[in-house]
Chains A and B, each alone.
Chain A
Amino acid sequence: DAKTTQPNSMESNEEEPVHLPCNHSTISGTDYIHWYRQLPSQGPEYVIHGLTSNVNNRMASLAIAEDRKSSTLILHRATLRDAAVYYCILRGTGGTSYGKLTFGQGTILTVHP
């Protein structure tokens, strides 16, 4: 499985933007870039995903580098409820990738009031 590299932890202040980086230098052409987050005592929650172009949804934005070897999850205005572990995952589209999300250690985001 193609691997991703994320910082172990990041901190932010409430109401400020947060940029969570992810490196995935071995990404293949058919891998989608997914972001999930997990709040304490809950299952992971889908945040956003993309293939080549930048993506926006109500939760966040995903900026994908032109060579696709890195991406950045952007939370435009962090709230205390955004404190969670954020996982950057490459998801393939067939064969040994069926249904499989390979979770790394993720980035622990702390949001200060």
Chain B
Amino acid sequence: KAGVTQTPRYLIKTRGQQVTLSCSPISGHRSVSWYQQTPGQGLQFLFEYFSETQRNKGNFPGRFSGRQFSNSRSEMNVSTLELGDSALYLCASSLFSGGTEAFFGQGTRLTVV
């Protein structure tokens, strides 16, 4: 079956703009989590959605938001982009949450100039 699909793969934005990233989980998976990966901070958890509800949130400012649709697809939005938001954004899907394995997409490489 198809894996986790993230679009777009690469994105270049200007400071102050906003961006929306998309994630399609593995069919049947209801939990979608988002992560930010930078060379300095490594992989950091942003938030998790399960059945259209945000159930957990990491330590990121309110400029980072997300949502999940009824088909489990998820979007992540970053408003008022800053240079420091340049990172690889990864999405992971799980059948449920907690304990079960997570499957990651290839990520979206965001560059803010």
* A68 lies within 8 A of chain B by Cβ: no
Shortest CB distance A108–B (Å): 13
A34-B101, A43-B104, A49-B101 known; A101 and B92 CB under 8 Å? yes
Q: Which residues of B contact A91 (CB under 8 A)?
A: 98-99
B residues adjacent to A (C-beta < 8 A): 4, 31-33, 35, 42-45, 47-50, 55-56, 58, 90, 92, 94, 97-99, 101-107
CA distance in complex: A98, B33 (Å): 9
Q: Which residues of A contact B43 (CB under 8 A)?
A: 44, 87, 101, 103
CA distance in complex: A87, B48 (Å): 20
Q: Are A43 and B105 in contact (CB under 8 A)?
A: yes
Give the size range of A's interface with the partner.
Answer: 20 to 34
CA distance in complex: A33, B55 (Å): 21
- Label chain B's interface by main secondary structure: strand
Using a Cβ cutoff of 8 Å, how many contacts connect chains A and B?
A: 75
From A48, which residue of chain B is reached at the shortest CB distance?
A: B101
Q: Are A46 and B56 in contact (CB under 8 A)?
A: no
A residues adjacent to B (C-beta < 8 A): 32, 34, 36, 42-46, 49, 51, 87, 91-94, 96-105
Q: Are B102 and A97 in contact (CB under 8 A)?
A: no
15 A-B contacts (beta carbon < 8 Å): A32-B98, A34-B101, A43-B104, A44-B92, A49-B99, A98-B56, A98-B98, A99-B31, A99-B50, A99-B56, A99-B97, A100-B58, A101-B35, A101-B102, A103-B35
